[in-house]
Structure 1
Amino acid sequence: MVLPRAAALTEASLAHWPLPDPGPNADKEARGQVLVIAGSTELRGAALLAGIAALRAGAGKLTIACPASIAPGLALAVPESRVIPLPETRGGGLAARGCEALAPLAERVAAVVVGPGLRDERGSMPFVRRLLPLFRECTVLLDSIAMSVATERPFDTPVLLTPHAGEMAHLSGLSKEAIAQEALAVACEAAVRWNACVVLKGARTIIATPQGRAWRFDDGSLGLATSGSGDVLAGLMGGFAARGLPPEQAAAWAVVVHAKAGNNLGRRLGPVGYLARELGGEVPAVMRKLGR
């Protein structure tokens, strides 16, 4: 394939994609509802980080669906969210029959984030396969082990994939070194092959679309390479998609806002050592500045 030229993703780029304005009298329904399906007994915080980030991005309503064993704690930790307990596999993943509890949400949610902190890749794949047709009218973001369904066949719904180099190596069969050297080519080829908007995360983040467009973002910071940072980024993308941005634009806004939030913390606290949980608190002010 002929590679597109990757345009630089900057604050100015976002001016062409303003955030939807629901108006001063709009209620929470007007800002969209996001469903976050995440977490496991070992990574309970991933659901919390992604869910709160979606709200910080401006989504009006949040539902978290998670393994039943961690649902009570999450309900207390994120009182802003509805929490739906889902049946678990023996390996601690999500059982396919759990989709029955989520089906009634299909007509109400605008975006779905699936994968942060999930476990039992093999056992959870039937759940993800059954989920996708239910939410075919929504923007669906697949993160972590949920992305493994990408290797089976091209998607026929608006899907966002958010691999880092290690995850892309797992999905593509390439080495991490090859992916780092040819990130643009790898992301663009994957976007076309899987019919998905691919966000290949790294020191330089590449956003590639199945239509052949590509963006590169070079303004990340070392401090963002920390546990939970990717969960926050996934939640931001879900929140922006819930507000009405299409996948490419939701990804672009999330990547820039995530980085600016990290830069703000870096200036106040130091270049490394701030926590992923602190990023969300920076997001509203960053959005306000970028939206001017």
Structure 2
Amino acid sequence: MTIAITAEVLRGLPLPDPAGGSKEARGSALVIAGSVEVPGAAILAGTAALRAGAGKLQMSIAAGTAPHAALAVPEALVVRLPEGEGGHVDHAQAAAVLLPRTERAAAVLVGAGMASGEPTKALTAALLSGPAQAPFVLDAASIDGLCGIAERVRARAGRVVLTPHAGEMARCLGCERDAVEADPLGAARQAAARLGAVVVMKGAETWIVDPAGETWHYEGGGAGLATSGSGDVLAGIIVGLLARGTKPAEAAAWGVYLHGEAGRRLAQACGPIGFLARELSGEVPGLMRDVADGRT
């Protein structure tokens, strides 16, 4: 059976109640993202995590861009990661810095805006192999070749959420992009079964499959969401919800809905295309309130 993601369905899966809680009670999100070419990915994802209700935020980014990220998101603690060739993160040194922080985080996001290639793969593998019990969101370059280390993902017992588009899914499964685009649900099911993870298969419509095979479907938030940085925002919303204590599949469903409906609201306000990814997060708190109150 496939569950259609609607406000009514999500009201039956209420988010952890923040009323009267401290910021520690809402959890700390650790966002490991960005690169010298795309430093804004960390900013987009980190801001989205806070808008989704995470109590605290740490952003980890290449040292050369860290000061700029700290100014852009003054609410965050920003961790400078050691740089290697070309200003990219040195994965071996970065792992040593990050592993203790993953143990203290309530949820961890890896990959948004990071450079594709072996260094990101190696860092992702090292973090997945660490002792942290926190759930992980893996996005963008951190998904590439993930089936090659499937045992490390499976060892996390369903506490991993993947957010691939068709190209990233193809690189994960080792197949052609056309095959994923022809059957996105089949690709999501294959990845969820192989990795024991929650898979958010992004596209004009979004499919979510959990390790047990339960399937969720969201019809899409409109063409305007196909814009630079939109996926970073989605990953950030999901890690923020996880930090609050939401279960992985439910965080994925809520995140996809909030991201999509934010797109709908912006389309109504300013037109179907042309709004910016940075504007999506601002819609999220009101949407969470409206779903909970039955206003939507």
Report the TM-score range of the alignment, normalised by the length of the smaller protein. Answer: over 0.9
How much does 1:103 deviate? 2.9
Instruction: Verify: 1:64 aligned to 2:59, yes or no.
Output: yes
Q: Which residue of 1 aligns with 2:203?
A: 202
Matched position secondary structure for 1:118 = coil
How much does 1:130 deviate? 1.4
Q: Which residue of 1 aligns with 2:129?
A: 133
Q: Which residue of 1 aligns with 2:30?
A: 35
Q: Counterpart amino acid of 1:220?
A: G
How much does 1:129 deviate? 1.4
How far apart in 1 are the matches of 2:122 and 2:227?
Answer: 30
How far apart in 1 are the matches of 2:179 and 2:98?
Answer: 39
How much does 1:22 deviate? 3.1
How far apart in 2 are the matches of 1:75 and 1:266?
Answer: 30
How far apart in 2 are the matches of 1:149 and 1:176?
Answer: 14
The runs of 5 or more residues in structure 1 that have no matched partner are none
How far apart in 2 are the matches of 1:120 and 1:176?
Answer: 17
How far apart in 2 are the matches of 1:38 and 1:197?
Answer: 20
How far apart in 2 are the matches of 1:170 and 1:129?
Answer: 16
114-123 or 84-93, which deviates more:
84-93
Matched position secondary structure for 1:291 = helix
Q: What whole-Å deviation, never above 9, does each CA across 1:184-242 have from its counterpart, x for those lacking one?
A: 11111110111111100001100001111111110321000000000000000000000
How far apart in 2 are the matches of 1:54 and 1:21?
Answer: 16
Q: Structure 1 residue aligned with 2:77, among 79, 82, 107?
A: 82
TM-score relative to the length of structure 1: 0.94
How much does 1:42 deviate? 0.6
Q: CA RMSD in A?
A: 1.4
Q: Which residue of 2 aligns with 1:166?
A: 167
How far apart in 2 are the matches of 1:10 and 1:53?
Answer: 21
TM-score relative to the length of structure 2: 0.93
Q: What whole-Å deviation, never above 9, does each CA across 1:25-72 have from its counterpart, x for those lacking one?
A: x21001110000001111010000000000000000000001111111
- The 1:167/1:107 distance shift into structure 2, 3 A limit, reads closer
How far apart in 1 are the matches of 2:189 and 2:81?
Answer: 35
How far apart in 1 are the matches of 2:254 and 2:271?
Answer: 24
How much does 1:175 deviate? 2.6
Q: What whole-Å deviation, never above 9, does each CA across 1:236-275 have from its counterpart, x for those lacking one?
A: 0000000001110110000000011111110010000000
Counterparts in 2 of 1:1-292, with a 5 A limit? 5-24=1-20, 26-91=21-86, 92-134=88-130, 136-154=132-150, 155=153, 156-157=155-156, 158-292=159-293
**Counterpart contact for 2:200–2:207, Cα < 8 Å:** yes
**Counterpart contact for 2:103–2:132, Cα < 8 Å:** no
How far apart in 1 are the matches of 2:23 and 2:272?
Answer: 36
> How many pairs align?
287
How much does 1:149 deviate? 4.8
How far apart in 2 are the matches of 1:181 and 1:149?
Answer: 21
147-156 or 265-274, which deviates more:
147-156
The runs of 5 or more residues in structure 2 that have no matched partner are none
93-102 or 216-225, which deviates more:
93-102
- The 1:103/1:176 distance shift into structure 2, 3 A limit, reads closer
How much does 1:144 deviate? 0.7
Q: Counterpart amino acid of 2:267?
A: G
How far apart in 2 are the matches of 1:209 and 1:187?
Answer: 9
**Counterpart contact for 1:139–1:241, Cα < 8 Å:** yes
Matched position secondary structure for 2:267 = helix
223-232 or 84-93, which deviates more:
84-93
How much does 1:135 deviate? 5.2
How far apart in 2 are the matches of 1:104 and 1:168?
Answer: 29
Q: Counterpart amino acid of 2:262?
A: A
**Counterpart contact for 2:143–2:169, Cα < 8 Å:** no
How much does 1:139 deviate? 0.6
Q: Counterpart amino acid of 2:169?
A: M
How far apart in 1 are the matches of 2:90 and 2:142?
Answer: 11
Percentage of identical aligned residues = 47
**Counterpart contact for 1:94–1:123, Cα < 8 Å:** yes
